[in-house]
Amino acid sequence: MLVDARRGLVVGAVLLTGAAAVATLVALPATRPAVQAVDDAVWRWAVAVENEPSTAVAVGLSWLGGVWVTWPLRVLGLALLAWRRHWLRLAAFALAVVTSEAFIGPLKAVYDRARPTDSLIETSGASFPSGHAIAAAVTAVGLVLVLSPPGPMRWRWEVRAALFAAVMALSRVYLRAHWLSDVVAGALLGAGLALGWPALLMAVRERRAVSRTGRAGPG
């Protein structure tokens, strides 16, 4: 999956640390007002630039990041990996999906953050973190990583996947369904899990291979 598992672990850890940092800033009473000030400024910008064509595009992007798209893509990806007998890749992507979904409900319950007012679409549940941003990132980044062979083509598709996840997340901000900090934390968390699990499983496999080679060597 990865040319360098150690580098993947580092990048995944940086992404997850970023998500944790945003979550901490939102949670702490000392920093929450500053975060909310930025979120409010972006909310006012979203209100100011609202127009029908942009709203139609944003609604479409939000739908692409929803369960009716992400879950069929995940199931198809897992089925393809099973058919190809790529068990390590299948396990990595499955773990990324399961852990990402496991985070959403408890984090929303703990933060219980109110959503922005005047949302352009129907919303439910707490605002932080953005489930759409998590799902889009873990699905787009994760599928490219486990389905594409290493090389320049994968890199180009990873850039496209990351851009899609970012634009989809920002569409939720434009629609006033989430605060900016909700989608930043969600995108970082989803991308970190999508990259971190493959890197971790590959690192474990490489360490076991080295250990077996050492045991098989001359005594």
Domains of the chain: 5-207 (1.20.144)
Range scoring the smallest mean pLDDT among 5-9, 57-61, 119-123, 138-142: 5-9
**Alpha helix locations (H) across 112-149?**
131-147
- pLDDT confidence of residue 3: 64
- The predicted-structure confidence for 35-66, as pLDDT tens digits, reads as follows 999 999 999 999 999 999 999 999 999 999 99
- pLDDT confidence of residue 53: 95
3-state SS, residue 179: coil
Among 72, 17, 43, smallest CA distance to 170 is for: 43
User: Across the chain, what does the average pLDDT equal?
Assistant: 92
Q: Residue 201: count other Cβ atoms within 10 Å of its Cβ.
A: 18
Query: pTM here?
Result: 0.92
**Which token pair is 208?**
């076991």
